[in-house]
């Protein structure tokens, strides 16, 4: 089964790692959000892409989910001593990635080619594709004005009240080479438990993606469990946008293919089992299972459950597993 996973940062990286432990490398392609990429200290930083690659390579910091294991912070200490900004933490090993990516971009290499090269160097076997080689910048509309994503997310710790989003450059951007082909060849598209507003939306709103997904098995895993985001501001965003955060709200947000939405199936946590029938009533197949990925076994388990579910995907209705 050829699987295409759409992923943002930490949650997406975890499920991607679970899929990578379950599928032959040739059968998994992970397409990663680059809407939160930014320039800092003159360097191009691709936080989601790096989180996914580090996680797949086994290089990620298991405590934070982002950054690298066994990291040192010598450069940032030197920067801080000079009064430079320390709100975005850049570890020494991680900086090696940003330096070399920046150098290659300035040489004219596209991000997708650089990512392929980095994955080879790090021993990442599945294919990882940035969603686009073109610049797309997620902008967060807030009560404090329109903020670049990392300014909102890291610098201001998601504190400003969100009123909306836009994605600069989105309509001029093309999916990276291989992305549309991967969708065409996919037997299953997995929307990882990433933030629907700022991790998944930039990918699926790229020109050509939504039409290509129509008619394919597309299964999303809810990033909201018991009304809370496992990590990050997804639940807070729903609330501030006037929507009660819940698995059902995420399902409604993505929508069923029957109604022109994205999904054919949806995966919710056992804690949200009471919402299963409501979600299924929109024409979705619903899997109820444990979705928290607390360790490598949890990632593998969820990946296996999702693949098993899709192998016998009902047109709609609830599967508890």
> For residues 67 and 97, is the Cβ–Cβ distance under 8 A?
no
Torsion of CA 78, 80, 83, 85, to 10 degrees: 120
Report the residue from 63, 82, 145, 312 that binds a copy of itself according to the rule CB under 8 A. 82
Of 7-15, 91-99, 251-259, 305-313, the segment contacting a copy of itself by CB under 8 A is 91-99
> For residues 248 and 256, is the Cβ–Cβ distance under 8 A?
no
Report the residue from 51, 97, 115, 127 that binds a copy of itself according to the rule CB under 8 A. 97
Q: Cβ closer to a copy of itself: 109 or 270?
A: 109
DSSP conformational letter for 60:
B
Q: Cβ closer to a copy of itself: 56 or 279?
A: 56
| Residue 224, SS3 per DSSP | strand
Least distance (Å) from a copy of itself to the CB of residue 76? 7
Number of residues in contact with a copy of itself under rule CB under 8 A: 31
Is 81 among the residues that bind a copy of itself (CB under 8 A)? yes
Q: Cβ closer to a copy of itself: 83 or 242?
A: 83
Least distance (Å) from a copy of itself to the CB of residue 147? 18
Helix, strand, coil % over all residues of the chain, rounded to 5: 40, 20, 35
Q: Cβ closer to a copy of itself: 27 or 37?
A: 37
Is 118 among the residues that bind a copy of itself (CB under 8 A)? yes
> For residues 110 and 132, is the Cβ–Cβ distance under 8 A?
no
Least distance (Å) from a copy of itself to the CB of residue 135? 15
Of 108, 107, 115, nearest to 37 by C-alpha is 115
Distance CA 22, CA 55 (A): 15
| Residue 130, SS3 per DSSP | strand
Of 101-109, 141-149, 150-158, 283-291, the segment contacting a copy of itself by CB under 8 A is 101-109
| Residue 276, SS3 per DSSP | helix
DSSP conformational letter for 314:
-
Q: Cβ closer to a copy of itself: 42 or 260?
A: 42
Is 300 among the residues that bind a copy of itself (CB under 8 A)? no
Is 180 among the residues that bind a copy of itself (CB under 8 A)? no
> For residues 289 and 269, is the Cβ–Cβ distance under 8 A?
yes
Report the residue from 69, 99, 146, 273 that binds a copy of itself according to the rule CB under 8 A. 99
Least distance (Å) from a copy of itself to the CB of residue 56? 16
Distance CA 224, CA 249 (A): 9
Report the residue from 2, 21, 64, 92 that binds a copy of itself according to the rule CB under 8 A. 92
128 forms bridges with which residues in the sheet? 30
Least distance (Å) from a copy of itself to the CB of residue 62? 19
> For residues 223 and 254, is the Cβ–Cβ distance under 8 A?
no
Calculate the alpha carbon distances from 157 to 1, 20, 144, 160 in Å: 39, 31, 13, 8
Is 239 among the residues that bind a copy of itself (CB under 8 A)? no
Question: Site mask, a copy of itself, residues 38-77, x = CB under 8 A?
Answer: --xxxxx---------------------------x-xxxx
Least distance (Å) from a copy of itself to the CB of residue 44? 7
Burial of 81 (0-12, 13-18, 19+ CB in 10 A): exposed
Binding residues for a copy of itself, rule: CB under 8 A, are 40-44, 72, 74-79, 81-85, 92-97, 99-100, 102-103, 106, 117-118, 121
């Amino acid at each position: 089964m050829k699987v295409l996973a759409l992923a943002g940062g930490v949650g997406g990286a975890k499920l991607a790692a679970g899929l990578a432990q379950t599928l032959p490398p040739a059968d998994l392609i992970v397409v990663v959000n680059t809407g939160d990429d930014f320039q800092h200290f003159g360097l191009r930083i691709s936080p989601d892409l790096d989180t996914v690659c580090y996680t797949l390579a086994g290089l990620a910091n298991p405590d934070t989910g982002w950054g690298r294991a066994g990291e040192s912070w010598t450069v940032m200490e030197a920067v801080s001593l000079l009064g430079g900004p320390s709100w975005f933490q850049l570890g020494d090993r991680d900086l090696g990635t940003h330096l070399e990516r920046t150098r290659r971009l300035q040489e004219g290499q596209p991000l997708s080619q650089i990512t392929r090269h980095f994955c080879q160097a790090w021993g990442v076997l599945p294919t990882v594709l940035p969603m686009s080689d073109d610049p797309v910048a997620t902008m967060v509309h807030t009560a404090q004005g329109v903020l670049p994503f990392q300014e909102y997310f890291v610098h201001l710790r998601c504190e400003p009240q969100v009123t909306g989003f836009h994605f600069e450059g989105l309509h001029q951007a093309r999916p990276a080479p291989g992305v549309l082909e991967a969708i065409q060849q996919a037997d299953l598209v997995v929307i990882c438990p990433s933030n629907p507003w700022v991790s998944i939306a930039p990918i699926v709103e790229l020109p050509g993606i939504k039409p290509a997904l129509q008619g394919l098995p597309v299964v999303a895993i809810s990033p909201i469990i018991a009304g809370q985001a496992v990590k990050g501001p997804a639940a807070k965003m729903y609330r501030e946008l006037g929507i009660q955060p819940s698995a059902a709200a995420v399902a409604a947000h993505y929508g069923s293919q029957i109604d022109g939405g994205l999904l054919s199936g949806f995966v919710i946590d056992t804690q949200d089992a009471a919402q299963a029938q409501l979600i299924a009533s929109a024409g979705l197949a619903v899997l109820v299972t444990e979705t928290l990925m607390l360790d490598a076994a949890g990632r593998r388990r969820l990946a296996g459950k999702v693949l098993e579910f899709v192998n016998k995907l009902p047109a709609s209705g609830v599967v508890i597993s």
